[in-house]
Structure 1
Amino acid sequence: MSFFNLEKLQDAQKANLDLLQQISGKIFSSVEQLSQLQFKTLQATTEEQFDGFRKLLAVRDPQGFAELQASFTQPNVQAERLAEFNRQVHALIVGTQSEIAQLTTRQVEAGTKQVQEFVEVISKNAPAGSESVVAGFKSSLANASTVFESAQKAVKQAADAAQSGFGAATAAAGKTAPGAKATSESK
């Protein structure tokens, strides 16, 4: 009798290949979305620059030049634009990480189940006197599962901390920009 079920092994290999393909597809999709976001931002910035040049060429007197110059130094608009771009990039990163984590978690759970089934088959067919070895193997498997769960929780906590830090930084930037605008308007 064989302890290895070749059909299950092939199924596991196919599942791992499918997982790799799904992760690759998600990464490529995210890179494509990031490229599109960067392209749109670059395009909008370029249009704004050309619009600024057009306005500059339309200036006919010193007062018009001063008004135009004041409109270019609106930190609130620039800061908000940058914050929005950063929010979109952050959302894309968090979404991609979350989807990849879900995919890998499902695969690890399936792999753990297969290993547990394999251990059960071994323990049923183990020769007499090998109970301590089988118990040690089961204990190691349980410890590995605990370590994986702890690592998973730590990664989630780190992602949550990064998310709250990003939210706090964005809020602080939003509060700073209006203050800068008020300072520039009072001059």
Structure 2
Amino acid sequence: MALTADQILAAQKANLETLFGLTTKAFEGVEKLVELNVTASKAALTEAQSTAQAALSVKDAQELLTLQASLFQPLAEKTAAYSRHLYDIAQGTGAEFSKAFEAKAAEAQQAFVGLVDSASKNAPAGSETAVAVLKSAVAAANNAFESVQKAVKQASDVAEANFNAVSTQAVAAAKTATASRKR
């Protein structure tokens, strides 16, 4: 089965569209990351200013300890929120790349199945067994690929659930530590 010039051009055009689409998605992810960091930096600067002013207005050691203890919980919450936003940006960008990969993989699978079908139709007489074995191997490979995709998706879901649980526990631990220091 020989490819025509039109088929080659169409494939190249599709590949370029995919490349430019993924490049755009990557830049969008970087833009979101920069925006997150600028926002976090502005907030940190504003908080540093108010914290410095509060520290300068402290009258005794007990007030200083109370101020110090009151800073830990918000810091942990903000760190967890920042991590969550960072994870969401990475997850969203990664999902776009995964979608594109899955689409290209599905196209490649279809093209390969078409090639096998075409080859089997043009196979010499008496090669039915070899063609059946080849088709069976292709079907098994496709099933294995789908199983791997499902396993990766499940592992990703478990990792996300674990990340959420750890973030929640970290904020709760900071609240507990702050509450015990205030006493």
- TM-score, normalization: structure 2? 0.87
Structure 2 residue matching 1:138: 3-state secondary structure = helix
Would the aligned equivalents of 1:12 and 1:111 in 2 still touch at CA under 8 Å? no
- How many residue pairs match? The answer is 181
- The correspondence of residues 64-143 of structure 1 with structure 2, limited to 5 A, is 66-74=62-70, 75-143=72-140
Which amino acid counterpart does residue 109 of structure 2 have in structure 1?
T
User: Aligned partners of 2:62 and 2:12: how far apart in 1?
Assistant: 69
Would the aligned equivalents of 2:69 and 2:182 in 1 still touch at CA under 8 Å? no
User: Aligned partners of 2:9 and 2:136: how far apart in 1?
Assistant: 27
User: Aligned partners of 1:47 and 1:165: how far apart in 2?
Assistant: 32
Superposition deviation, residue 80 in structure 1: 0.6
Q: Which runs of 4+ in 1 moved over 6 A?
A: none
Would the aligned equivalents of 1:34 and 1:92 in 2 still touch at CA under 8 Å? yes
User: Aligned partners of 2:66 and 2:28: how far apart in 1?
Assistant: 41
Superposition deviation, residue 114 in structure 1: 1.8
Q: 1:139 to 1:8 in 2, by over 3 A?
A: farther
Superposition deviation, residue 43 in structure 1: 1.9
Unaligned runs of 5+ in 2: none
Superposition deviation, residue 181 in structure 1: 1.6
Superposition deviation, residue 89 in structure 1: 1.0
Percent of aligned pairs with the same amino acid: 33
User: Aligned partners of 1:10 and 1:139: how far apart in 2?
Assistant: 31
Unaligned runs of 5+ in 1: none
Superposition deviation, residue 48 in structure 1: 1.3
- TM-score, normalization: structure 1? 0.85
